[in-house]
């Protein structure tokens, strides 16, 4: 228990009651009025504690009847955390109290204790105080401090109750509540102050308890607390040691209830976890990805955790964190700002179904699991509709372009060159108009006007010495070719872009949209040329067969793809996961 001083009977200032034989004396002193001896019961090996109170130190205004009632209450205490008081007797000059002895170590604030052990001590003492305060009348210990708390394994005992006949002189007064120092009436909050100050000393690991007070005698301890200690627990300690007893917890039960709702260590605070995730597939066997960021809002902490999918009777069995069709990236993490991906593979799911699963996040921020509800809507089994009307318009425009293009080429080299320049500039204007690019469109228009002026000026200078009619004819031909090409480029590009957009709107891939647009326009141009030179021309027949076959294959590919998918889906329907 504590260090002992071996004594013989000659060294004793007084002989105890005959049934007890003193074998040692505890070297530390509870108060000036009390001395504690270790003794054995005569004819027995049982060891007890003898508390000796000196008559000479009894206050004159204290009634021995009150002391007798106080001792009677102590003898009636029955709690596993309180060493039983066995007997009391009076000698010539002293009063003796007999208590059961337990070989356990008292707390030493210089020794580092694990946080879990300190928390266990706090809860155990509060439970003892709840018992004491439930007595009628309530019992107040009045001397809670480290050396009066015995700890052995997980068993905690509270010893050395202070009696009314003891003055505060000689007691470590830092552990006493202000009302005790002022000799005021003690209440159920008095022991809470002493317990709170004891816990502060244990956590600060300092024997210099006076360093916990500032010059105004106010307790300042937060700077001495472990850095990972919960801020809410520090607030709980501040409430326990308020100088004004009315600002403390009203009793031990209230203090314990508040403590049980507080995490002992400072924990991360998780932010950014959504409550629901909704994903919708737009095509069969699609891989869906949902991203979000989780952060930690508490400094000096590191957020750690891992993801898994809650059990569902329709999912194949897998060892966590693996899952048949849901995965996380990353599945485990450590950091205060982490970006996550929830990846859903709909390949194993039935079409036109809504799946709901629980995503569980386990972190060091709390002992409970965060639960997210994942909802996945798979695609309906419908055939993609080709934009037939847009393709038809593109085909007509391409036929006209092919027919006009052959006619322009037949009119000569100069008009053909003007048409080529016009097509290029018209395409730029059409591109700017379709994609809301006014700078490009205006630039192309200014270039078109400039080119027209330059053509007129250049041709006028070149043919100024020749016949005026011939010069006007050439200028008019080139300008006609330029403006005809400009209109063809603008309209053609606008129609082609509309066809591409129509394909994308119907959920076709970009490659399919571009390929279908190019082949359709190419087929229209060849048909336009065929109307000019005849379809029996070998080159026309070759180009028609070269373009028409892949274009026809693209047109029927959605139907073929849908038929193959439908056939394979119905074969595997039984093995797909139910919702």
DSSP string computed for 144-204: -SGGGEEEETTEEEE--PPPTT--STTS-GGGS-HHHHTT----TTHHHHHHHHHHHHHHH
Structural domain includes residue 372: yes
578 vs 436, residue with greater confidence? 578
Tokens 């709107």 map to which residue? 505
Structural domain includes residue 572: no
| CATH label of the domain that carries residue 343 | 2.60.40.10
Mean pLDDT of 422-437: 58
* Cα separation of the two ends of the chain: 66
**pLDDT at residue 451, rounded to an integer:** 55
Q: Mean pLDDT lowest for which of 46-55, 298-307, 381-390, 403-412?
A: 403-412
Which of 260, 288, 315 terminates a domain? The answer is 260
Residue 525: is its pLDDT beyond 50? Answer: yes
Residue 45 lies in domain: 4-100
Closest-CA residue to 203 (of 136, 109, 93, 268): 109
Mean pLDDT of 406-427: 60
DSSP string computed for 406-462: HHHHHT-HHHHHHHHHHHHHHHHHHHHHHTT-HHHHHHHHHHHHHHHHHHHHHHHHH
Q: What is the pLDDT of residues 100-123, one digit of tens each?
A: 988 888 887 667 888 888 889 999
DSSP string computed for 409-422: HHT-HHHHHHHHHH
**pLDDT at residue 12, rounded to an integer:** 45
**Percent of the chain clearing pLDDT 90 (strictly above):** 21
Q: Are 336 and 303 in contact (CB under 8 A)?
A: yes
For residues 420 and 469, state if they share a domain. Answer: yes
Q: Which of 115-119, 128-132, 430-434 has the highest mean pLDDT?
A: 128-132
If one counts the domains in the chain, the total is 4
For residues 247 and 312, state if they share a domain. Answer: no
351 vs 128, residue with greater confidence? 128
Q: Which of 172-186, 346-360, 416-430, 479-493 has the highest mean pLDDT?
A: 346-360
367 vs 528, residue with greater confidence? 528
Which of 61, 84, 100 terminates a domain? The answer is 100
Residue 7: is its pLDDT beyond 60? Answer: no
Residue 420: is its pLDDT beyond 90? Answer: no
SS3 82: strand
Closest-CA residue to 379 (of 291, 471, 283, 303): 283
**pLDDT at residue 9, rounded to an integer:** 42
**pLDDT at residue 193, rounded to an integer:** 94
Beta bridge partners of 53: 34, 95
Structural domain includes residue 574: no
The pLDDT confidence band at residue 6, using thresholds 50, 70 and 90, is very low
For residues 447 and 308, state if they share a domain. Answer: no
For residues 462 and 555, state if they share a domain. Answer: yes
Q: What is the pLDDT of residues 193-207, one digit of tens each?
A: 999 999 988 888 877
- Residue 228: left if φ>0, alpha if ψ -120 to 50, beta else—which one? alpha
**pLDDT at residue 4, rounded to an integer:** 46
Q: Which of 35-49, 216-230, 346-360, 444-458 has the highest mean pLDDT?
A: 346-360
Structural domain includes residue 350: yes
Contacts (Cβ under 8 Å, ≥6 apart) of 563: none
Structural domain includes residue 571: no
For residues 541 and 401, state if they share a domain. Answer: yes
**pLDDT at residue 27, rounded to an integer:** 67
Rounded CA-CA distance 127/253 in Å is: 8
Q: What is the pLDDT of residues 535-556, one digit of tens each?
A: 777 887 788 888 888 878 888 8
Q: Which of 251-255, 257-261, 392-396 has the highest mean pLDDT?
A: 251-255
Residue 87: is its pLDDT beyond 80? Answer: yes
For residues 360 and 393, state if they share a domain. Answer: no
For residues 400 and 362, state if they share a domain. Answer: no
Strand segments (E) across 317-413: 326-329, 332-334, 337-345, 354-363, 370-377
Closest-CA residue to 50 (of 68, 23, 73, 32): 23
Rounded CA-CA distance 456/451 in Å is: 9
Q: Mean pLDDT lowest for which of 6-20, 95-109, 380-394?
A: 6-20
For residues 412 and 543, state if they share a domain. Answer: yes
For residues 402 and 368, state if they share a domain. Answer: no
Structural domain includes residue 222: yes
299 vs 139, residue with greater confidence? 139
Which helix (DSSP H) or strand (DSSP E) does residue 218 occupy? none
Which of 59, 81, 100 terminates a domain? The answer is 100
Residue 239: is its pLDDT beyond 90? Answer: yes
Residue 126: is its pLDDT beyond 50? Answer: yes
**pLDDT at residue 34, rounded to an integer:** 84
3 vs 295, residue with greater confidence? 295
Strand segments (E) across 14-109: 20-26, 34-41, 47-54, 85-90, 94-100, 105-106
For residues 558 and 409, state if they share a domain. Answer: yes
For residues 325 and 372, state if they share a domain. Answer: yes
Residue 489: is its pLDDT beyond 90? Answer: no
**pLDDT at residue 466, rounded to an integer:** 43
Structural domain includes residue 575: no
**pLDDT at residue 538, rounded to an integer:** 81
| CATH label of the domain that carries residue 88 | 3.30.200.20
416 vs 520, residue with greater confidence? 520
Closest-CA residue to 72 (of 144, 161, 167, 194): 161
For residues 347 and 426, state if they share a domain. Answer: no
Mean pLDDT of 144-165: 87
Which helix (DSSP H) or strand (DSSP E) does residue 522 occupy? helix 510-533
Mean pLDDT of 71-79: 89
Mean pLDDT of 429-438: 56
**pLDDT at residue 472, rounded to an integer:** 54
Q: What is the pLDDT of residues 135-145, one digit of tens each?
A: 988 999 988 99
Structural domain includes residue 476: yes
């Amino acid at each position: 228990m504590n260090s002992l001083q071996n004594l013989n009977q000659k060294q004793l200032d007084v002989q105890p009651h005959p049934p007890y034989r003193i074998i040692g004396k505890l070297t530390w002193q509870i108060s000036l009025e009390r001395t504690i001896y270790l003794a054995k019961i005569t004819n027995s090996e049982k060891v007890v504690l003898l508390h000796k109170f000196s008559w000479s130190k009894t206050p004159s205004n204290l009634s021995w009847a009150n002391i007798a009632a106080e001792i009677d209450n102590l003898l009636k205490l029955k709690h596993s955390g309180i060493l039983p008081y066995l007997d009391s007797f009076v000698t010539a000059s002293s009063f003796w109290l007999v208590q059961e002895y337990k070989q356990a170590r008292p707390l030493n604030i210089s020794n580092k204790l694990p946080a879990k052990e300190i928390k266990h001590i706090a809860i155990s003492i509060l439970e003892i105080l709840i018992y004491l305060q439930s007595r009628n009348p309530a019992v107040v210990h009045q001397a809670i401090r480290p050396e009066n708390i015995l700890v052995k394994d997980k068993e905690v005992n509270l010893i050395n109750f202070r009696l009314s006949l003891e003055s505060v002189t000689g007691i470590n007064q830092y552990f006493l509540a202000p009302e005790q120092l002022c000799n005021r009436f003690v209440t159920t909050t008095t022991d809470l102050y002493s317990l709170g100050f004891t816990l502060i000393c244990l956590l600060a690991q300092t024997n210099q308890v006076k360093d916990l007070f500032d010059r105004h005698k106010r307790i300042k301890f937060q700077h001495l607390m472990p850095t990972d200690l919960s801020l809410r627990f520090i607030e709980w300690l501040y409430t326990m040691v308020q100088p004004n007893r009315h600002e403390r917890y009203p009793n031990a039960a209230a203090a314990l209830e508040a403590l049980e709702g507080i995490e002992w260590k400072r924990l991360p605070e998780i932010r950014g976890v959504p409550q629901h995730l909704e994903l919708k597939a737009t095509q069969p066997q699609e891989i869906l990805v949902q991203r979000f960021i989780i952060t930690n809002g508490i400094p000096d902490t590191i957020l750690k955790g891992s993801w898994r999918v809650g059990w569902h009777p329709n999912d194949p069995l897998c060892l966590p964190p693996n899952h048949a069709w849901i995965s996380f990236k990353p599945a485990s993490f450590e950091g205060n700002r982490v970006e996550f991906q929830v990846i859903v593979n709909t390949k194993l799911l039935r079409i036109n179904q809504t799946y709901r699963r629980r995503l569980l996040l386990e972190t060091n921020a709390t002992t409970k699991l965060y639960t997210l509800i994942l909802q996945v809507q798979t695609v309906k089994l419908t055939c993609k509709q080709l934009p037939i009307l847009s393709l038809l318009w593109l085909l007509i425009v391409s036929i006209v372009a092919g027919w006009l293009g052959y006619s322009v080429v037949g009119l000569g080299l100069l008009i053909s060159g003007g048409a080529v320049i016009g097509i290029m500039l018209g395409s730029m204007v059409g591109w700017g108009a379709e994609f809301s690019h006014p700078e490009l469109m205006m630039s192309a228009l200014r270039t078109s006007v400039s080119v027209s002026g330059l053509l007129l000026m250049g041709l006028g200078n070149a043919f100024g010495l020749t016949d005026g009619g011939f010069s006007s004819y050439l200028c008019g031909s080139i300008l006609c070719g330029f403006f005809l090409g400009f209109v063809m480029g603008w309209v053609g590009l606008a129609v082609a872009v509309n066809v591409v957009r129509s394909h994308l709107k119907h959920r076709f891939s970009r490659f399919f949209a571009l390929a279908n647009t190019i082949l359709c326009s190419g087929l229209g141009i060849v048909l336009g040329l065929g109307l000019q030179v005849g379809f029996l021309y070998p080159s026309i027949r070759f180009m028609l067969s070269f373009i028409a076959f892949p274009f026809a294959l693209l047109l029927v590919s959605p139907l073929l793809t849908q038929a193959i998918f439908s056939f394979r889906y119905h074969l595997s329907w039984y093995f797909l996961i139910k919702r």
